[in-house]
Every structure is written in C-alpha cells, then in structure tokens.
Structure 1
Amino acid sequence: MTSMHAADAVVVGAGPNGLVAVNALADAGWDVVLVETNDEVGGAVRSAEVTAPGYLNDLFSAFYPLAAASPIIRDLHLEQHGLVWRKAPDVLAHALDDGSAAVLRDAAEDTAAGLEAEGAGDGDAWLELVHGWDRIRDPLLDALFTPFPPVVSAGRMLRRLGAADTLDFARLAVTPVRRLAQERFTGPGAGLLLTGNAMHSDVPPDAAGSGMFGWLLCMLGQDVGFPVPEGGAGELAQSLRRRAESKGARVVTGTAVTAVTVEHGRASGVRLADGRQITARRAVLADVPAPALYRDLLAEQRLPSRLLRDLDRFQWDNPTIKVNWALDQPVPWRAEGARGAGTVHLGVDTDGFVDFAADLSVGRTPQRPFILFGQMTTSDPSRSPRGTESAWAYTHVPHGSDWTGDRLTEHVDRIEDAVERVAPGFRETRVARHVQSPQDLEREDANLVDGAINAGTSGVHQQLVFRPTPGLGRPETPVAGLYLASASAHPGGGVHGACGWNAARAALGANARLTGGARRALTRTAWSRLLPRD
C-alpha cells in the first residue's frame, strides 16, 4: 500500500458503477485507485459455484438488458477485454398455473403474433409500442443516463415526437402499468409481460411510473434481449477490471474504507480499516449507498442538518430472498413457451400482481409470491453440464421481519410450490439448493442493505431531483471533491454504469483547467441554497 499513498482520485467500492467510474477517469489520464472491501470486484455482479461442482450460479443479478443497451457500457468495448454476451432462444415468459404462458420472443413480430392469438388487435398494439420505442430509443437512453436535467437529449426527443406525441409519451411515463395494459390490449398476455417487467422495480402495478418501467424493460427485451455474460455474471465485472487496469488504474481488494477524509472543506482521500490513508489529489468517488456515505464514511464531518433530516426519509426498496438450484435436467415446464426463455415470471396472474404488491405495502407475508426465475444454462451453456440446468429464483418480501429460521424455510417452500405448479416434478430435478436471505445478501455485498437490490425505492418520490434526497439530482455532494457514484444517485438501480459515469464526468468537469473554479463555485452555491448549514 505504501506505493498507493496518493492518487488523482480514489474510488470507493467496485460494483459496476465504481468500475465504470474508474474506467472513465483512467481514460482521461488520471491516476486512479479503486478500493473494494470484498476479495473480488463486482459488487452485485458476481458468480460462483455455490450449489454443486460444475454448476455456476450468479449470486445477485443475472440478466443485463440495461448493460447491453447502455451507451456507456457499449463505448467501453468490453468485448476487447473478454466479455461475450449470450442469449436464450426467447427473452422472457410469464407462466400461469393453467399451463399457458405469455412469451416475449426475440423478434417483435413473433411476440405480436402470440399476443394476437389471445386478443384481436393486440399484435398491432404491441408493434405500436415497439415502433414508438424505435422512434425515440437513442435520445431516451441518453436522457435516462445523463445527469439531470438532460437538456440535449430531451431536446432531441421533443424534435422527434412533436408536441402532441410528447404529451402522449409523458402520459405513458406516469401511467400505472395495470392501466396501460387495460387501455391498449384486450387479451391478458401483454399485460402479464408489461406488469411482470414493471415488478422488477418496487413500484406497485397501480402506481404512477410503473407503466414506464414495464414498457422500458419490455422494449429493451425486444431490442437487445436479456443477455448474460458467458461464464457468469462475474465476467462482466472482470472485463471492466481488466480494461481499467490496462489503462493504468490500480485495484485494491479485501480492504475496507472506513472514512472519507476532509481538509479545508474538501475531500482529501480515504482512511482504511488498518489506519492507513490514501490521498486523493483531485476527487473521491463513492460507490456506496447514500446513507452509508453520509452517516458512516463522513461520520466525523459536520454536514447540513437538512441533508441529515432528508436521509431519515430515505426509503429502501423491498428485501429479497434468492434461491439457487443445480438441476439434473431442464425445468419441466407445462407451458412450452417457457422452455426456451431465459427469464420466467410465475406465481401470480394479472390480479395477483396487485395482491402481491399490497402484501408488501402493508408488511404481510405474501402467500402467493410473484417470482422471477432464471434459466442460466438455457441462456449460456457454459453454466452447467450438458443436459442440466443452473437456475435461480428471487422474490421480494416485506420490511420488518426476521427472514431466518422457520420463516425463511416456509417462504422458500412457497417459492418452490409456485414453481411446482407450473413445472410439475421440478423438485425431483434438484441436485442441490443454496438459499440467500436478505441478511445473506447484505453480508455478501454491504450495498444490498437488508436485501434491497435497487439502492433505494424506484418510486417517483425518490427519483430524478429527489434521488437520493431532494436537491440537484446530480452526483455532487456538499463536500467539495466528493461524488456519489452509486445507484443511490440518479438514475438509480440497474447495471448500466450511468451513476459511476456521471460521477466521473462531474469530477472531470470540476477539475477542467478553464471551468473548474466556476463549476466548483456553482456546485457549492447550489448546495448551500438547498442544504443550509446550521
């Protein structure tokens, strides 16, 4: 560590956002040190053999449509550093207990044909959504991944849509997904696909904003699919690490950062658990949850009282229980449409989505949980021996319960019961099983607080200028030279790298020779107005 006592920047945390930030700074010629508590980089993008020998399991996230579509990830050219994307024959299916399934197929026309068979006109209605996506895809993705406000990309969207269609799109963005499906489709299939994808967030299906999440993920599925890295999720993280190191970045693992040091009101580096320090000449970027940054890493600093008050209102998304399996054969789905899908939704029907969300809202254990199921060998044959399947499932549970012991065992049984209803004989295919409780997830990645996988709710009250607290919606913090680079910052959860990229851009901009002083002054002035000190 003595050779790493100083750098232009220190990045705390090697999740995907931290790894992207390191790459962006290294590309700009900065000397960067990345410090990670765990022995491996990746955060919630890691894989290991935790069930049986020869079966590779993704420990947290698994499918990466946002990464595949992200202009940030794309422009890093990770294929030059070992990343290979693989996809299942079909993108996604929603399997129902009656043996039927709605299927999101690789080609939009094939998806539309399946929906048309369930409801007259639904095929054309689906293609209308896809055409709308094609029309605004690039400026929309730029707007989603750009620091707020996205002036340039928003202007491009306005020019493409025109006034009337802009209002229609704005309405779609705030329409509950349940209402979106009712307005546009007659059969159940499209609603299942849209709502199931909306439930990847924690926004209830009858709440504003859920339609946008469902539409976005479905359209990404039609556009880039739900790809996975060949050889496990960890290969995405490792390719980011290899690229950063090829640019001269230094990566330190197995070392915890306990504090961000501040001198004369400016972040000056970090202190490690063993007492050693790394000095940051230009910036510190923190890929940690906002509460951890302000309450833990800055515990020794005097922060604006309003910021601390707003942190008391910070809302986490729901805890998660995840189950990993090694299966000796493919899943025996009743619905043929589920057999080739990488991701399968199950456990509930159209009304069941609402019941499940209501259970979470009132703190009641769902008796019929909504489940996301991943068929990893179907997507990437390298994940397990030929003729077998490496699989997982996760579901959300309410806050406020101790998800250990009998309570955990009973809910895992509910998960397997739900799979058994749509795939009779599933339990007989199990070779081994590995369960991750909310506490396990947090223990393995401290950013997954109480098993929350989104670094804070996706509700509209904690997005844009409200993320992580009401302010500028930008990565700057009240401490000069310190930037929030985690999914607690805009635009939030998902493996797209935008939070780390935006933090790196802010740091680079603040240190630009001609505009650095003005940018720092503007940032300090804005924060002082929004978050006055006592």
Structure 2
Amino acid sequence: MNEEVDAVVIGSGPNGLVAANLLADAGWDVLVLEAQGSPGGAVRTAEITAPGFRNDLYSAFYPLGLGSPVLNGLELERHGLRWCHAPSVLAHVFPDDRVALLSREVDVTAKSVGAFAHSDADAWYAEFEAWQRVRTAVLNSLLRPFPPVRAGASLLRAVGVGDALRLTRLLTLPVRRLGEERFAGEGARILLAGNTMHTDLGPDQAGGAGFGWLLAMLGQEVGNPVPEGGASALTAALVSRLNSAGGRVVCDSRVSSVLHARGVAVGVRVGDTLVRARRAVIADVPAPVLYMDLVGAAALPQRLIDDLSRFQYDNATIKVDWALSSPVPWTNSEAGSAGTVHLGGDMNGLAAAANDVACQRIPRNPFLVMGQMTTSDPTRSPAGTESAWAYTHVPRGAKWTDDRLRRRADRVEQIIEERAPGFRSLIVGRSVAGPDQLEAGNASLVEGSINAGTAAIHQQLVFRPVPGLGRADTPFDRLYLANASAWPGGGVHGAAGANAARAALARHGRAGEVYRMVVQGAHRAIYS
C-alpha cells in the first residue's frame, strides 16, 4: 500500500531521529524508514559477548551529546535518558606506565599534567578558563547551520576581534604544534593529541588541534558521559519523544531510491511500496550513497558527480568487545578509574601509527581507544565484572578474513596485557568486528568509516561533503542531507539532522519561495 506523509526520513541514526523530532514538533506528519531491524544507526546496544554483558555495538561515549545545544534542547531526560560517568574521564597510558589523567575536577587534571611539567598545572587552568569564555559561541558555531553568523557575532562580543582570530588559528593547527605552544610537558600534550586521534588525523596534520582541544575541553567540562543501560537508551529516548509528537519509525524498510521529478524530491521507494513526501525527504545516509545510489547519477550535474568521486572517507576500523570476569588489572591504578583509556605510545608513537595507516600499512603498534563501560555505568554487566571494548584504525581497502581479524584482535589484547598483566585471563567472551561487519550492521559505516568522511580541513566547512554551501540543502528541491557526511561532521550531537530540519522548515516558511530561489541559484552557480 502506498502512503503519503509530510516528510520521509531515511535512516534512524541520531541525526535522522533529531530531524524527525524537530519536524514533528512543527506539526509535520513524519515517517522514519530504517533498513535494520532496530533503530539507532551507530547508537545501539546488544549482548554480543556473554549473557548479562551489554556492549555498545558502535559509539559509546557522548561528550558532544551532553554538550550539544541540539540534543539538550530536546529534553530527552523527560523520555528516560539518564547520563552516567566514570570516576575519571580519560587516562592516557604511556609505554613507561605513566598516566596523564583527565577528570571533570579541574584540580585533578591540573595536578596530573603538572606532574609532567610543573608549569602545566597553571597552563591547564588558563586553557580551561579560556574555553569557558568561548564555549557557547564555539559550540553554536560548530553545531548550527553554516555560515555561523550569529555565533560568530557572539564570539566577537565575548573575546574581541584579536582573540577570535587567535582562536581561528588554534583550530587550524596540528595538535602537536598546539601542545608545544601551550604546554611544557608530555601529559597535557598527549591528552590533546589522543583526542585528535579519535578522528582520522594524526598529530602533525593541519586542523587536528581543533578536534583535540574541543574534545579535551568538553571532557574537562562535561566528561565522557554514557547513557545508563547502554547507547540504545539514547535512541530509545529519541524514538519515545518522536512517538509522543506523532512521528513514526518503521524498521526493516530499506529505501531503494529517492523519487524526484523536474528537480524536486517527491518521495521514496521501499521495495514495491511508494511513500510520497509532500514537503521533504531527509536523508541520514552518506552523501555518495544519497546522490549516486538513491538519486542516481543520471539525474546529477556532471560537476557534482566529479566532486563526489573525490569524496574521502575516514579510515577503516576494527573493534573488539569483551566480557571480563573482573575489572582490568592496570599496573597504574589511575587507568582503572577512567571510562576512556588511550594506549599507543607517546606523541611520536601516535604519529607513527597514523603514518602507518596513511601509508596503507597495518600498524604493529596501533593507537587504541578503549572503553571501560561498567566502570562508567554499573548496569552494563554483573557486579564485579567489566564490559569493555577497544577500537583501532586500519587502512581502507584491506581484506580482513576471519583469521586475520582474530590475529589483529589478539594484538590489541597483547598491547593491553603489557600495561595490565592478566587481562587476557579475565576474558569470558569476545566479539570482533572488522570493516565488513561494521558496515553490515550499519550501512552508513562504509568500510568501517565511523565519522562519515575525513576530518581533514579540505573536507570541512563549505567543502563538506563537496564544494558547495556547507548546508543541508541539495541541488534537488525538498531533498536534504542529514548525515554526518554533511557539516559539521562526525559525533553524536544531532547537528546535521537539526540543520536538515531547519532547512526544510525554512523552505516551507513565509519566505519559502525566496529561500528556494536563493538555494537553487547558488547550486546553479556551483555546478553549472
């Protein structure tokens, strides 16, 4: 049976669900279509290692979520969301077993980095004070539609032209350089660099400082929070809110094409079913998938096809989940208090691992991001045990047989064992997901790309996903890109979904025809 609604949302990841919620709040009839059997995209939880152990299948920690004005504005706590925190936010474990510790207590962080260089304690206080002056303007600039006119004006009022320019310079620096300019010791520098490595940027790539600084300062302010009960609790809250506003989510409904006529998106096809969209089609899928697969190359301007051929995904990923019979036996106990643990060497070690991946080599000494989930949220596994995971980046395009994945997981465990002797003896269950498995579980994780596109500066701002407006609007009227491959990129903050919803609402507002003409004129100038 064919159906007609105001808006169809393709994909029930957090961006798709945020867009659906905002449109439903405006009184639109909204239908979300999800290809998988459960909603959430990369925000899902399941028992995949052992009974009673809840493992987040993809994303796990959400500093951008708790810090996001978009998600905060949805008041998801009214729909059951509860945030939990580990005693400490992040521990970077050096090869000599020293630990640089990030805590929500700034005094604790300052003491930790001060142990590496005495002057860095005061330098960390100063850095965090600077963050607090600009944080609202910075987050609004990053998480609102481009260009950030209002947020930019707010920043100028807060710090003046000179410091606004200095902040802009900071965001473009390599993170190694930022650490050298601001801090004397390895501790503070590695906290910044380790956070940068959550992207596909190494310590020496331009633009990496912005990510490392943002995540470190957010960690200092809001921590690395996790939803009580698992990542799926965040999805459940978004779905509950949407249902209460009259929206719907239908799973096991893979969209095969976007229907369009004379440059206007009019609906989608799901198997033999047509769903007509009176006002908007919102796509929470990667830009190349939307344009080349769902819209079709035959309908696209050649210049857009050329630009899409140059779209760069971020690195592939391998993730290992464990059920452990007891907490990780770190030789440095400070690591045991942290929800997130970084392993992989000093600054040069991180640079070497990043260079290996860039050169299409599998790192012998990879950088690991590790999550101690029961330490963060005691509901994740039985008392006295630990639900844990680690992921590492690998080059795209490599073939990962089951045996090769097993050997890479063994190497990950060996690295942890070096800093936590006895770790492997605690394993009662393990699950390994390589690039193919990650993509099979969520088609938006193309070849295990977890950020929907490189974080490099050539694919940010007006260049994300391709040279254009840096907005959710597409060359097709009433079709909007809500995926992390659009600005502002990866992270569970809902901004790309909110930007798409706002664009759709503006298109159908009082000045809707003017909005349409401006957008279409801009796209003609770019792609003609």
CA distance in 1, matches of 2:128, 2:137: 15
1:52 paired with 2:45, answer no
CA distance in 2, matches of 1:388, 1:149: 48
Amino acid at match of 2:295: L
Aligned with residue 518 of structure 1, among 514, 521, 525: 514
Deviation of the 1:145 alpha carbon: 0.7
Amino acid at match of 1:100: R
Deviation of the 1:432 alpha carbon: 0.6
Deviation of the 1:300 alpha carbon: 6.8
Deviation of the 1:161 alpha carbon: 1.2
CA distance in 1, matches of 2:499, 2:161: 29
Match of 1:27 in 2: 25
Amino acid at match of 1:408: L
8 A Cα contact 2:473 2:481, kept in partner: yes
Matching of residues 51-450 of structure 1 within 5 Å: 51-273=49-271, 275-299=272-296, 301-450=298-447
Identity percentage of aligned residues: 54
8 A Cα contact 1:404 1:437, kept in partner: no
Amino acid at match of 1:312: S
What is the TM-score with the length of structure 1 in the denominator?
A: 0.98
Q: Deviations over 1:272-325 (max 9, x none)?
A: 02x111100001000000000001101275111000000000001000000000
Deviation of the 1:327 alpha carbon: 0.2
CA distance in 1, matches of 2:347, 2:481: 38
8 A Cα contact 1:55 1:326, kept in partner: yes
8 A Cα contact 2:291 2:297, kept in partner: no
| Partner SS, residue 366 of structure 1 | coil
CA distance in 2, matches of 1:404, 1:519: 50
Q: Deviations over 1:228-268 (max 9, x none)?
A: 00010011011000000100001111110000101232100
Amino acid at match of 1:327: L
8 A Cα contact 1:369 1:414, kept in partner: no
Aligned with residue 500 of structure 2, among 492, 500, 503: 503
Match of 1:454 in 2: 451
Q: Deviations over 1:131-158 (max 9, x none)?
A: 1110011111111011111001011101
CA distance in 1, matches of 2:124, 2:173: 17
Amino acid at match of 2:457: V
Point out where structure 1 has 5 or more consecutive residues left out of the alignment: none
Deviation of the 1:167 alpha carbon: 2.2
Point out where structure 2 has 5 or more consecutive residues left out of the alignment: none
Match of 1:10 in 2: 8
CA distance in 1, matches of 2:167, 2:498: 27
Deviation of the 1:407 alpha carbon: 2.4
Deviation of the 1:166 alpha carbon: 1.7
Instruction: Identify if the C-alpha distance between structure 1 residues 527 and 364 changes in structure 2 by more than 3 Å, giving closer, same or farther.
Output: same
What is the TM-score with the length of structure 2 in the denominator?
A: 0.99
CA distance in 2, matches of 1:350, 1:526: 43
Deviation of the 1:99 alpha carbon: 2.0
Deviation of the 1:169 alpha carbon: 1.0
CA distance in 1, matches of 2:197, 2:145: 25
Amino acid at match of 2:266: S
8 A Cα contact 1:44 1:59, kept in partner: yes
Deviating 4+ runs (over 6 angstroms)? none
CA distance in 1, matches of 2:195, 2:482: 26
Aligned with residue 527 of structure 2, among 490, 509, 531: 531
Aligned with residue 485 of structure 2, among 449, 463, 488: 488
CA distance in 1, matches of 2:279, 2:161: 43
Q: Deviations over 1:7-43 (max 9, x none)?
A: 0000000000000000000000000000000111100
RMSD: 0.9
Deviation of the 1:97 alpha carbon: 2.7
